[in-house]
Amino acid sequence: MSKSTFKHSFSLLHIDYVKLNHNWNFNNVISPYYRLYYIDEGMGTISNSSDKLILEPGYLYLIPSFTICNLNCEEYLSQYFIQFFEESPDGISLFNQNRNVMKLPATETDIILIKQMLKSNPGRGINRSDNPKVYEKEAFYKEYRSHNDKMKPHLKFENQGTLLLLFSRFLNTTNFKQTTPQGRPSKILDTMSYIQLHLDKNLTVAELAQRVNQNQDYFSKQFLIHTGQRPLNYIHEKKIERAQYLIATTNKSFLEIALDTGFSNLPHFSKMFKQIVSLTPGEYRNKNDFYLNN
């Protein structure tokens, strides 16, 4: 009998109920964590270069980590929001192939769960600004993670269960693409996990093929067939995704981040970052900088 273990878990960052107005207007927002909204009044929008979703009462919205979007409210919008990190042993996100905003009708159970979670976690709002440039810094992440470390065991389990229930709603939609279909060979899955766990290394396709005892050309073709990407492209994408996280949450220099993500020099790192993100590392950091005068 086959045996599988659910390996994903989630940790709470923020939860709150807020009333927003025309000042809630931010472009090119991208975060290393998930955002989940429940709208109870008013109207707003979430958009990107190709799509726009209306934020309207009675609906849930999920913004996966590292999903670029614009947030806007022209007049009035009130929302419950939960921000949380996803964790897995191999670093492969459940939404690895779903970097798009998702929307579905909220059920009565969803609303009860969200309100109960807010009641059980007082003082976990942002309380600084509605501007992501202000609250997305390493010091603030550490502050709220320290809350989790001090949390009583029963509340940790309660939060985890609530997040799993709410998150599962978005896995049961026609728009969700399964990241690990049954047909994907074990050697490909093993390679994907190995890449995620060794992003600080200078990984090569030849080494990855040798590791699973396959010819390099055959390995590359199989990887492309089963992931939709060539091995080197996949490696670079995951390295830059890790770099985005480090830029957004730490004060490390770009050279330090380049070395932490397995690049041997800064020019190569900068070139790949611009190619994948369409911004230079400096431009990306500027979008996440904490300006006291904002």
Q: Residues 164, 192: one domain?
A: no
Q: Do both 92 and 235 map to the same domain? A: no
Q: What letter does residue 221 receive in the DSSP assignment? A: H
User: What's the distance, Cα to Cα, between the start and end of the chain in Å?
Assistant: 58
Tally of structural domains, the chain? 2
* Nearest CA among 67, 77, 65, 85 for reference residue 130: 77
Residue 163 DSSP label: H
171, 198, 224: which is the final residue of a domain?
A: 171
Residues 166 and 240 in one domain: no
Whether 177 is covered by a domain: the verdict is no
Question: What tens-digit pLDDT sequence spans the chain (294 residues)?
Answer: 344 455 678 889 889 999 999 999 988 777 778 999 999 999 999 987 678 899 999 999 999 887 878 899 999 999 999 999 887 665 667 776 667 889 999 999 999 999 999 999 998 887 655 555 554 455 566 666 677 778 888 998 999 999 999 988 988 765 555 554 445 687 887 888 788 778 889 999 999 999 999 999 999 999 998 888 899 999 999 899 889 878 877 888 999 999 999 999 999 999 999 999 888 999 888 876 532 223
* Cα–Cα dist 138/141, whole Å: 5
Whether residues 201 and 242 fall in one domain: yes
> Would 178 be classed as within a structural domain?
no
pTM: 0.68
SS3 of 69, please? strand
Residue 103 forms beta bridges with which residues?
A: 61
The answer for 141, left when phi > 0, alpha when psi is -120 to 50, beta otherwise, is alpha
CATH of the domain at 58: 2.60.120.10
Whole domain around residue 145: which residue ranges?
9-171
CB within 8 Å of 119: residues ≥ 6 apart: none
Last residue of a domain, one of 171, 203, 218: 171
- Distance, in Å, from the CA atom of 269 to the CA atom of 8, rounded to the nearest integer, reads 29
